[in-house]
């Protein structure tokens, strides 16, 4: 499986890859490889138009053949709508608790005492605690404990 980041314009590439037997994970929302184009590491899908675009993009990429969807740093309500709009698995990174599952990328684990990411659920201050944090993450994942509101991005859509 390959993971590719982008928007609806990925549909043709996804179709070609899947047609040739390569499963694709489509990554939308905050796409780190395009962070400079997006204006930095910022929440995506905050406005109604942006949210609708993400939902339509998810549908379009599923229709093109994406085997799964990774959504990053979007408000939880948008992630929920995306998850309900597609039939493929949806993985969230800082996208609330209503995706099929969540992942936490190692650099977002709080290692430095002065820096943390909003969607990081851990409290490690040194690399020595990483093994404990991975154990905690495993417990959260396999015991299906829910991520709480303090680990989500929330907005109100009018």
Catalytic residues: 72
| Closest to 108 (Cα-Cα) out of 157, 138, 151, 47 | 151
Residues with Cβ within 8 Å of residue 94, at least 6 apart in sequence: 30, 72, 73, 74, 108, 117, 118, 119, 151, 152, 153
Q: How far is CA 138 from CA 92, 104, 110, 152, in A?
A: 16, 11, 16, 19
Cβ contacts of residue 44 below 8 Å, gap of 6+? Answer: 29, 30, 38, 50, 54, 72, 73, 74
């Amino acid at each position: 499986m390959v993971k590719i980041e982008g928007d609806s314009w990925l549909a043709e590439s996804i179709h070609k890859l899947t047609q040739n037997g390569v499963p694709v994970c489509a990554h939308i929302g905050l796409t780190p490889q395009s962070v400079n184009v997006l204006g930095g590491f910022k929440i995506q899908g905050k406005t109604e138009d942006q949210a609708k675009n993400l939902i339509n993009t998810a549908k379009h990429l599923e229709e093109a053949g994406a085997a799964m969807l990774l959504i990053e740093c979007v408000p939880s309500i948008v992630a929920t709508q995306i998850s309900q709009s597609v039939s493929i698995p949806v993985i969230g990174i800082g996208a609330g608790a209503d995706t099929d599952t969540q992942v936490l990328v190692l650099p977002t684990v709080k290692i430095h005492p002065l820096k943390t990411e909003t969607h990081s659920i851990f409290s490690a201050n040194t690399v020595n605690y990483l093994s404990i944090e991975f154990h905690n993450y495993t417990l959260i994942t396999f015991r299906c404990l829910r991520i709480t509101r303090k680990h989500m991005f929330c907005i109100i859509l009018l």
